[in-house]
Structure 1
């Protein structure tokens, strides 16, 4: 991968001489966008600002074509059997909530989670437990925060209706052995939903090879526009799901007392959609496929190895997750004894323009269970450099001396 050429695709890096250089290490929250995505969104508003699938004029036909093309691109991106298995959402959170509301639940059904789920994959199930009498079971991680297959097997039985796991943790970057998890779940008749918000931007996903039932992702974490996402579902399962939101574009016909729902995915995409965003998301997915996930992972591991080895030289610094950087993708989370994580993040930004995330990263349950106040998370992507890693470490060392 030609890093210099790749960075030219991102307006963020084309700064004026008087602007602060800094480094963007908050990619697990939201990635930067390449000009190809920005231009696709802009073109929609400038050249074809119309609805898809509603009107007969040529602008509507062009939007329909591009919208359908984006769906087909995302199907290829995920290795889906057909584009109708791709439901457009606003984000991963909406995809998970769709499944939580659309499946038929019985009191006593069990949903299995891990102990470090993002709130997006925890709170919907807590609400479901209150609403429908569903039981939640939590699979504890190993001491190094990697997945405990034995603990999972012990909690997995015929009462489990759904296994809903974060494919890659936003806390520490650990990716689960999804294929084995899915195989075991299917052996007891359970469905599997994967939260792939932190996986889709970084590694190749093939939903058919995994045999996963549902998978959710967010566009804003994979170079795409904010407010876009995808729920993948096996078509036979999508046909059985009840619509989550209903109204315009979800029905073929209606009377004052009845309605006929459209087939998937339309029955889940109520109302006017973010056409510009979805078209941009298709461009983002194609950009990543063109770049290649082998190149993306190679760069992330290079950066993580360099950052991890240098951080361990700082007194009182503790890494979260396994010590091997290859097991943490592009994420390095840490805390320094006696120093508030928010203070570190603010000083990094003020001193050197280094942007990281601080706090509990929407994984409050994990931090509360371990009585850890919070941490700093540096999340890297393929466009980051070793020089930016050095800037982060040098700045941290200065902060450590000051505080």
Structure 2
């Protein structure tokens, strides 16, 4: 086929199946540039002066779905309790700005929190806008807070960012703290399965990945990672964990971050992204591969994939390399939709079976004296008749 014919085929596929990107930090760019004040900023949001993402380029890229990252940095406060509470506050601010971004661009973006809503958004000609949280440092060590984030629309949580937390070890921090997952982390994996939250293993240590892949009862994702065998970076996924991912039924969404693509990061280009996708597809099957750019989480995208307008070039590149059309569709978005559906199914089954939720433990609120007083008053009330006085009158 001629290059123009391949480009036309790519554009056709982008209209048939949503290309869903697993990770974009545009909300954090909004935080940094506008301090989250997007009132009256339509012209700038349409054509941003910085970064790889804006409304105009999203439309040019024919993007079908996006997991917007409600990212905030790891706490810097020496008092971890104070730092984690501040991270949770900032997380709520980021969730708020994501929802406001969607609400103020209703002809382009549409909120999505399920596989079904992804399809309805795509069929309406809008970018299905899902939300991920990038690290358990953002939940203030509270499972209750995590469940509330789910109710606010968050559909995946990354177990760590670039810091250890009380649940899991990060990939790029040494020494390790838990040798993978902590005991709390192991219990949390079960709760994430029960509540229907997708588990994201990007940024986590190789041991944490292995343990999670062995524990999780639902498929997991890597929202923005690449292949360790092609580029030996701690953030990338080893052969062992690729095989476990295949058995788990999950998806690795290949990242565009230059240092995850090539040993010579300044040489990273579209060809390297294609190499990682095709390697993963060949090793574990194209049904386990997706796209997770990490746009706006980088200073500069790889050559040929410099911003979100370039998704058609990525799809055309896969076709030109000989990847079958059905496999290209899987990589574009069908795989992550399948994972969403399976996570929803597992959660419904566990909840239907009566599996109990995990809860926060905290110090006693009342002493025995107060409990006794409350109990005695309740016993006294058992013998009272609300209508007795009315009857006597």
Task: Using structure 1 for the length normalisation, give the TM-score.
Answer: 0.28
Structure holding more helix per residue? 2
Task: Using structure 2 for the length normalisation, give the TM-score.
Answer: 0.28
- Computing the radius of gyration from Cα coordinates, the structure with the larger value is 2
